[in-house]
């Protein structure tokens, strides 16, 4: 199975601390490297965890609050100093142009590559990136400004051909793609070998959903139903329920209620408020509702 890894570069919130960096993650999927959000210091976190900067294909920015974007200028500058020539794709809300341009102009270094901004639709779900094997969608979250979540999916993989059958029935190479796609095979003497004899079902496609920042919003459940891993913000403990609502953030318990209702396989909570020096309360409050919860942490890698 190809690699499908989520690496946490930062899981703090607006005010970074020595415990948690501002939000950023890497998603490595089918040999492609994607980044979600890019808080201040993200390029250093990439170095710390030995991420391969050269492989970075696209950035997905959930919303334009500082803690999710202040690392962009430095990252862009460093990619340019490293001599990148491949276009860099940034999926973000339209207003990012006005923020990036003045900084880029004064960067002093000519940027060695083109930056292409793809505006996100803050109102409904849209497929924003697609190739033969993967699909990435954005969908609306509910925060103080336009904010989108992201869904990373493998496409329905092809069935696996059983190696021994190729020799047994003298299957020519040109037939193999069709058989993987579900075709039967007819031997030289006219015998039909059903596909189910020749192949094993593919593993189910894996899916990862990122939901940060957002207030408790059951309307996002249809977008994330049954994912293998849900990252959901959990800025506050339940004792700060009112503050969570006022600031359009979630409590750990609310993240778990969403995870349970959406029937996800695993929940990871993050975007922790700087007020928490230890996170046991948040973890326990979430686990009381959804047991398969874990805390995000800098450097943590979840392999799907």
Residues that bind a second copy (CB under 8 A): 14-18, 21-22, 40-41, 43-44, 47-48, 64-67, 70-71, 73-74, 77-78, 81-82, 95, 98-99, 101-103, 105-109, 144-145
Query: Would you call the peptide bond into 280 cis, given omega within 30 degrees of 0 as the criterion?
Result: no
8 Å CB contact between 218 and 16: no
The pair of structure tokens assigned to 270 is 């993050």
Q: Which is nearer to a second copy, 71 or 140 (CB)?
A: 71
Q: Which is nearer to a second copy, 21 or 138 (CB)?
A: 21
Output the smallest distance, CB 144 to a second copy, in A: 7
Conformational region of residue 31, where left means phi above 0, alpha means psi within -120 to 50, and beta covers everything else? left
Output the smallest distance, CB 36 to a second copy, in A: 18
**How far apart (Å, rounded) are the C-alpha atoms in residues 297 and 10?**
7
Output the smallest distance, CB 229 to a second copy, in A: 27
Burial grade of 19 (CB within 10 A; 0-12, 13-18, 19 or more) = middle
Active site residue 5: no
CB atoms within 10 A of CB 206: 20
Q: Which residue in 63, 147, 140 sits closest to 99, CA to CA?
A: 63
**How far apart (Å, rounded) are the C-alpha atoms in residues 40 and 26?**
15
Q: Which is nearer to a second copy, 147 or 293 (CB)?
A: 147
SS3 49: coil
Q: Which is nearer to a second copy, 18 or 85 (CB)?
A: 18
Output the smallest distance, CB 62 to a second copy, in A: 12
Please identify which of the residues 5, 37, 67, 292 carries the catalytic annotation.
67
Output the smallest distance, CB 276 to a second copy, in A: 15
Q: Which is nearer to a second copy, 98 or 173 (CB)?
A: 98
End-to-end CA distance of the chain: 10
**How far apart (Å, rounded) are the C-alpha atoms in residues 10 and 45?**
8
Q: Give the residue numbers marked as catalytic.
A: 67
């Amino acid at each position: 199975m190809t690699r499908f890894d989520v690496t946490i570069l930062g899981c703090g919130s607006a005010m970074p601390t020595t415990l948690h960096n501002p939000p950023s993650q890497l998603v490595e999927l089918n040999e492609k490297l994607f980044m979600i959000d890019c808080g201040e210091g993200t390029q250093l976190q990439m170095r710390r965890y030995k991420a391969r900067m050269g492989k970075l294909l696209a950035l997905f920015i959930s919303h334009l609050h500082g803690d999710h974007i202040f690392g962009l200028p430095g990252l862009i500058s460093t990619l340019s100093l490293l001599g990148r020539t491949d276009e860099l794709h940034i999926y973000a809300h339209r207003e990012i142009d006005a923020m990036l341009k003045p900084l880029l102009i004064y960067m002093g270094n000519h940027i060695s590559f083109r930056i292409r901004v793809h505006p996100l639709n803050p109102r409904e779900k849209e497929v924003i990136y697609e190739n033969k094997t993967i699909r990435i969608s954005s969908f609306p979250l509910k925060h103080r400004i336009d904010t989108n979540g992201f869904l990373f999916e493998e496409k329905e993989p092809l069935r696996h051909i059983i190696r021994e059958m190729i020799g047994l029935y003298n299957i020519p190479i040109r037939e193999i793609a069709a058989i993987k796609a579900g075709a039967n095979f007819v031997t030289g003497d006219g015998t039909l070998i059903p596909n189910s004899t020749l192949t094993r079902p593919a593993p189910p496609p894996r899916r990862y959903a990122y939901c940060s920042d957002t207030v408790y919003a059951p309307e996002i459940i249809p977008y994330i139903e049954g994912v293998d891993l849900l990252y959901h913000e959990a800025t506050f403990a339940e004792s700060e329920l009112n503050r969570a609502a006022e600031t359009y953030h979630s409590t750990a318990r609310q993240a778990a209620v969403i995870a349970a209702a959406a029937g996800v396989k695993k929940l990871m909570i993050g975007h922790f408020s700087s007020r928490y020096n230890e996170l046991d309360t948040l973890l326990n409050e979430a686990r009381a509702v959804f047991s398969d919860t874990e805390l995000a942490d800098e450097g943590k890698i979840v392999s799907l």
